């Protein structure tokens, strides 16, 4: 026997709300605790969490989410995936061996556990961070191997519900990542687990979910939300049919007990697929939320199977900051309502964690642009208005619909969204504009011009951003120091950076990016068509937030951006200084991009602005220009069918940006934050002369992958992991250089760190760069000896064996 709904599903809801706080309260509390736990004990974090939870609840009710269970009660424990993993007691054995026991997250011990898992300890690596679907949010990857001990910990879920109810009178809806998605997003604990999949633990995990659901029922919870976004993505190591079968049996089990809350299953981040919808319909789950922002209105057969159970129509997108097109939302809702047999509630397509809190606070944003934008609170109001229309008829919200149409029309007619000169230029782009001279011709011309040694050394661009530099920028921004003084201070920093590189003997220098707050925002501020916000923070991972710019209009470059700083650096040295730009795909990926023009067109506008910048850099004598694209992999669509079109426009825009460079200008690109194996062809398609990649944490994986793929271009697989202050040993660095030189070929390999150095301090930067240069010098010498040895057909050189590199000691600090 199974439970039947008793509390009806509310007419309006959101799947989640920003968790960090309107003034980043959670970030501040966590970071204070992490930097000084004695002054800011775990209780201060818990207090902040409790306050934020109360604030979120009252705010959502105030905005109109008044129904029972309309307000989600989310896990705040730095990450929702980690929060669910902790409800399952998933503490990896290496932490357990160190005395960390499972704990409910909202307790002092829970805060310590979350801290250890997310930040690591002296001797334990933290959980890995990975992109959450195709967003710029990163979650902590749970480690669930065949032997990981698991146990149910519903205490915090129950307590959040009970304390919110007591404090505000609101009965909330607890949210967990669903069992299937949780396991698909997890990995094994050790490489020994490689053969076993976390999904093999589904039975164990289901038993725990059942006991958690029972504890929630005991506490009086009417509805619980289980998120299964994994269903919207391809690429899991499980065939789709097996996945859907697992979904059905999992939810059949979860919905079987009579002592449980009603279950809302959400997908989000795209279309669940009819196979998954039909599978869920065959179980006794009580409500289903569908993404109608990115996905389609479910078909007749799925809806017939679903019967009279409620559906949550996710018509308000949670991924962008644009107002919802209410007329289109009405159309979708009407279509769904004619097909659906049961009630239709209105909701967001995803949680609102990807958008900032409230656009009303953006008092410096152009009022016209501000009217086009909806942050979380505005999206909640859209949901509430649409739900009212569903309930009372569209006439009841006619005024809101009219106002939206008027704003939409004003936006379409605004001169900034349609600039003839920009449109004409993109329309005139020809295939040839995306094509340079042949790779061989370029290689020869660049060799002739640059005369670099084998295994040339370089860095990725940024150098340590000291407090002093950041202060100078802040003062400049606030208008507190005159332009000339600011320029002098940045120049001083550039000079110091150039000197430090010359002293260490690097071959290709950089200016260090001291003038840049953020690699995207810096360009957004210099280009027309972008706006920046004051409070538009969104969580990136843990306590880290970013403040994406808003790309709202046609893009153009009013004046050169980087040329003065780069030229100044070049004037201080005989060695080549690399110009440093952020590529079009990354600029789009890390901004809120307009939804009223195709991405390909927007990307080409940005590309043309960068193309002009490259022309100006070349005219100023720059021989090497790097165009960073760390986000190339990140925007890759979740569904395989959508990938070719994406790769076409993204690669095309990079080629448009760089396609005007002279044959003897060396174009570099840089990628990081992801697995590259799936996009090696696209990286090749960028047609850059040199590609530097984050690689040192992958062991020899990426290097071997490049070698196996016979990657035909020069590459710089990172040999120094810059994500921690640890200085690698000479042997480690030399080992990586040697391996790359042998696997890929010394004539193709560059020697560089994994990524930019802006989060590092100067001492460790100097020490690590010393070793990096020494490693390159040593391996060059070994290779020369090898060649001699091969020429003389003598016995193999001793110096190629690991650990025999003599200069090591001289460079140990
Ligand atoms: N040039 C940038 C820097 O060095 C690249 C950063 C990145 O790839 N994320 O900071
Ligand atoms: Zn990088």
pLDDT digits (tens, 9 = 90+) for 244-279: 999 999 999 999 999 999 999 999 999 999 999 999
In a domain, 291, yes or no: yes
Mutate to test the pocket of ligand 1, among 462, 634, 671, 765 (most ligand atoms within 8 A of CB): 462
The CATH number assigned to the domain holding 345 equals 3.20.20.210
| pLDDT tens per residue, range 354-381 | 999 999 999 999 999 999 999 999 999 9
Q: Note the residue count of the chain.
A: 813
pLDDT of the residue at 235: 87
Q: Please state the rounded mean pLDDT for residues 307-320.
A: 97
Q: Which protein residue has the closest C-alpha to ligand 1 atom 4?
A: 756
- How far does the centroid of ligand 2 lie from the alpha carbon of residue 23, in Å? 28
Other Cβ atoms within 10 Å of 1 Cβ, number: 6
Give yes or no for residue 806 having a pLDDT over 50: no
- How far does the centroid of ligand 1 lie from the alpha carbon of residue 590, in Å? 13
Ligand 1 pocket, Cβ-based, cut-off 6 angstroms: 460-462, 513, 519, 580, 628, 630, 670, 672, 755-756, 758
pLDDT of the residue at 785: 86
Among 121-130, 518-527, 531-540, name the one with the lowest average pLDDT: 121-130
- How far does the centroid of ligand 1 lie from the alpha carbon of residue 459, in Å? 10
pLDDT of the residue at 430: 98
High-pLDDT (> 70) share of the chain, %: 95
**Element of type H or E holding 348:** strand 344-348
Among 77-91, 179-193, 361-375, name the one with the lowest average pLDDT: 179-193
Give yes or no for residue 638 having a pLDDT over 90: no
Q: Assess whether 405 and 464 both reside in one domain.
A: no
Q: Please state the rounded mean pLDDT for residues 576-600.
A: 97
Question: Residue 427 in contact with residue 729, Cβ under 8 Å?
Answer: no
* Lookup: tokens for 260: 């449980």
In a domain, 213, yes or no: yes
Q: Which ligand is nearest to the CA of 674?
A: 2
Q: Which ligand is nearest to the CA of 518?
A: 1
Residue 190 pLDDT grade (very low, low, confident, very high; cuts 50, 70, 90) = confident
Question: Residue 309 in contact with residue 342, Cβ under 8 Å?
Answer: yes
**Residue 505, Cβ density class (10 Å: 0-12 exposed, 13-18 middle, ≥19 buried):** middle
Q: Which ligand is nearest to the CA of 628?
A: 1
Task: List all residues 6 or more positions away from 396 whose beta carbon is below 8 Å from its beta carbon.
Answer: 388, 389
- How far does the centroid of ligand 2 lie from the alpha carbon of residue 673, in Å? 7
| pLDDT tens per residue, range 469-523 | 999 999 999 999 999 999 999 999 999 999 999 999 999 999 999 999 999 999 9
* Lookup: tokens for 515: 């003038």
Q: Please state the rounded mean pLDDT for residues 93-115.
A: 95
Residue 696 pLDDT grade (very low, low, confident, very high; cuts 50, 70, 90) = confident
Residue 1 pLDDT grade (very low, low, confident, very high; cuts 50, 70, 90) = very low
Query: Could you give the number of structural domains in the chain?
Result: 2
Average pLDDT, the chain: 93
Mutate to test the pocket of ligand 1, among 755, 760, 765 (most ligand atoms within 8 A of CB): 755
Q: Assess whether 307 and 452 both reside in one domain.
A: no
In a domain, 454, yes or no: yes
- How far does the centroid of ligand 2 lie from the alpha carbon of residue 1, in Å? 55
Q: Which ligand is nearest to the CA of 513?
A: 1
Q: CA angle 351-357-362, nearest 5°?
A: 145
pLDDT of the residue at 796: 35
In a domain, 66, yes or no: yes
Q: Please state the rounded mean pLDDT for residues 384-407.
A: 98
pLDDT of the residue at 642: 92
Q: Assess whether 408 and 469 both reside in one domain.
A: no
Give yes or no for residue 805 having a pLDDT over 50: no
Q: Please identify, by atom number, the ligand 1 atom nearest to the C-alpha of residue 672.
A: 8
In a domain, 349, yes or no: yes
Chain-centroid distance of CA 325 in Å reads 26
Q: Assess whether 486 and 390 both reside in one domain.
A: no
Q: Assess whether 391 and 455 both reside in one domain.
A: no
The domain boundary residue, chosen from 361, 386, 412: 412
Q: Assess whether 343 and 261 both reside in one domain.
A: yes
Q: Assess whether 332 and 481 both reside in one domain.
A: no
In a domain, 517, yes or no: yes
- 171 SS3 class: coil
Highest mean pLDDT among 161-170, 722-731, 785-794, 801-810: 161-170
In a domain, 695, yes or no: yes
Q: Please identify, by atom number, the ligand 1 atom nearest to the C-alpha of residue 756.
A: 4
Residue 285 exposure: Cα atoms within 13 Å on the Cβ side: 31
Q: Which residues are tagged catalytic?
A: 723
Partners of 176 in beta bridges: 226
Question: Residue 752 in contact with residue 710, Cβ under 8 Å?
Answer: no
In a domain, 489, yes or no: yes
Q: Assess whether 486 and 532 both reside in one domain.
A: yes
End-to-end C-alpha distance for the chain, whole angstroms: 71
CA distance 183 to 143: 9
Mutate to test the pocket of ligand 1, among 511, 628, 671 (most ligand atoms within 8 A of CB): 628
CA distance 214 to 206: 12
Q: Assess whether 676 and 788 both reside in one domain.
A: yes
Q: Assess whether 581 and 654 both reside in one domain.
A: yes
Q: Assess whether 407 and 463 both reside in one domain.
A: no
The domain boundary residue, chosen from 363, 397, 412: 412
Question: Residue 681 in contact with residue 651, Cβ under 8 Å?
Answer: no
Q: Please state the rounded mean pLDDT for residues 788-807.
A: 40
| pLDDT tens per residue, range 737-766 | 999 999 999 999 999 999 999 989 999 999
Residue 797 pLDDT grade (very low, low, confident, very high; cuts 50, 70, 90) = very low
Q: Please identify, by atom number, the ligand 1 atom nearest to the C-alpha of residue 459.
A: 4
Q: Which protein residue has the closest C-alpha to ligand 1 atom 6?
A: 756
pLDDT of the residue at 792: 52
pLDDT of the residue at 355: 97
What range does the domain containing 401 cover? Answer: 25-88+148-412
Q: Assess whether 404 and 547 both reside in one domain.
A: no
- How far does the centroid of ligand 2 lie from the alpha carbon of residue 688, in Å? 16
Q: Please identify, by atom number, the ligand 1 atom nearest to the C-alpha of residue 694.
A: 8
């Amino acid at each position: 026997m199974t439970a039947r709904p008793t509390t009806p599903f509310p007419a309006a809801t959101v799947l989640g709300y920003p968790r960090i706080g309107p003034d980043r309260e959670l970030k501040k509390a966590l970071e204070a605790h992490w930097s000084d736990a004695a002054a800011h004990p775990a209780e201060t974090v818990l207090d902040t969490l409790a306050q934020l939870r109360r604030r979120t609840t009252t705010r959502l009710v105030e905005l109109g989410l008044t129904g029972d269970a309309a307000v989600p009660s989310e896990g705040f424990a730095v990450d929702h995936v980690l929060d669910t993993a902790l409800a399952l007691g998933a503490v990896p054995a290496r932490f357990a061996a160190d005395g960390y026991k499972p704990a409910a997250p909202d307790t002092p011990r829970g805060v310590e556990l979350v801290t250890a898992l997310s930040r690591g300890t002296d001797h334990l690596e933290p959980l890995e961070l990975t992109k959450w679907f195709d967003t710029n949010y990163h979650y902590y990857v749970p480690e669930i191997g065949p032997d990981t001990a698991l146990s149910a910990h519903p205490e915090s879920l129950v307590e959040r519900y009970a304390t919110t109810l007591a404090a505000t009178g609101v009965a909330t809806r607890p949210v967990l990542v669903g069992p299937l998605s949780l396991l698909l997003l997890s990995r094994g604990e050790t490489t020994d687990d490689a053969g076993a999949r976390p999904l093999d633990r589904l039975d164990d995990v289901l038993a725990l979910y059942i006991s958690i659901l029972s504890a929630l029922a005991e506490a009086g919870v009417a509805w619980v939300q289980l998120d299964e976004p994994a269903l919207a993505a391809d690429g899991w190591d499980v065939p789709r049919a097996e996945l859907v079968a697992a979904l059905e049996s999992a939810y059949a089990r979860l919905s079987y007990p009579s002592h449980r809350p009603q279950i809302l299953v959400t997908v989000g981040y795209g279309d669940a697929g009819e196979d998954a919808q039909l599978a869920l319909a065959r179980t006794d789950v009580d409500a289903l939320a569908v993404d109608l922002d990115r996905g389609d209105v479910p078909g007749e057969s799925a809806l017939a199977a679903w019967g009279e159970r409620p559906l949550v129509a996710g018509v308000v997108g949670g991924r962008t900051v644009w107002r919802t097109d209410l007329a289109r939302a009405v159309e979708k809702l009407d279509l769904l309502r004619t097909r659906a047999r049961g009630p239709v509630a209105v909701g967001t397509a995803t949680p609102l964690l990807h958008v900032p809190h409230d656009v009303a606070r953006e008092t410096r944003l152009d009022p016209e642009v501000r009217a086009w934008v909806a942050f979380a609170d505005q999206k909640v109001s859209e949901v509430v208005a649409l739900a009212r229309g569903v309930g009372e008829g569209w006439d009841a919200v006619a005024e809101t619909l009219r106002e939206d149409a008027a704003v939409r029309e004003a936006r379409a007619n605004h001169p900034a969204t349609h600039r003839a000169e920009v449109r004409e230029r993109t329309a005139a782009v020809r295939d040839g504009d995306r094509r340079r001279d042949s790779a061989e011709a370029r290689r020869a011309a660049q060799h002739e011009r640059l005369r670099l040694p084998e295994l040339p050394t370089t860095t990725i661009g940024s150098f340590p951003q000291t407090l002093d530099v950041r202060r100078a920028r802040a003062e400049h921004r606030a208008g507190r120091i005159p332009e000339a003084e600011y320029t002098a201070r940045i120049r001083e920093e550039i000079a110091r950076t150039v000197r430090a590189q010359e002293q260490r003997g690097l071959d290709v220098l950089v200016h260090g990016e001291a003038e840049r707050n953020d690699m995207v925002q810096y360009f957004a501020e210099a280009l027309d068509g972008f706006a920046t916000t004051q409070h538009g923070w969104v969580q990136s991972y843990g306590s880290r937030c970013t403040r994406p710019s808003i790309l709202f209009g046609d893009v153009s470059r009013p004046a050169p951006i980087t040329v003065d700083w780069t030229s100044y650096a070049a004037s201080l040295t005989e060695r080549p200084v690399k110009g440093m730009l952020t590529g079009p795909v990354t600029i789009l990926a890390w901004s809120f991009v307009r939804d009223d023009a195709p991405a390909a067109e927007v990307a080409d506008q940005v590309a043309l602005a960068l193309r002009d910048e490259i022309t100006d850099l070349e005219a100023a004598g720059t021989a090497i220009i790097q165009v960073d694209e760390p986000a190339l992999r990140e925007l890759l669509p979740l569904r395989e069918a959508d990938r070719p079109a994406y790769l076409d426009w993204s690669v095309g825009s990079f080629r448009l940006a760089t396609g005007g460079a002279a044959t003897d200008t060396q174009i570099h690109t840089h990628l990081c934050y992801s697995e590259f194996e799936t996009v090696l062809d696209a990286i090749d398609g960028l047609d850059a002369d040199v590609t530097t990649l984050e690689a040192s944490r992958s062991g020899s994986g990426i290097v071997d992958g490049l070698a196996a793929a016979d990657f035909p271009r020069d590459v710089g697989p990172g040999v120094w992991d810059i994500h921690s202050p640890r200085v690698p040993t000479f042997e480690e660095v030399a080992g990586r250089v040697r391996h790359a030189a042998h696997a890929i070929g010394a004539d193709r390999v560059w020697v560089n760190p994994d990524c930019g150095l802006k989060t590092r301090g100067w001492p460790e930067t100097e020490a690590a760069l010393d070793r990096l240069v020494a490693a390159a010098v040593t391996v060059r010498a070994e290779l020369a000896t090898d060649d001699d040895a091969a020429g003389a057909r003598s016995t193999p050189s001793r110096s190629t064996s690991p650990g025999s590199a003599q200069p090591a000691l001289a460079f140990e600090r």
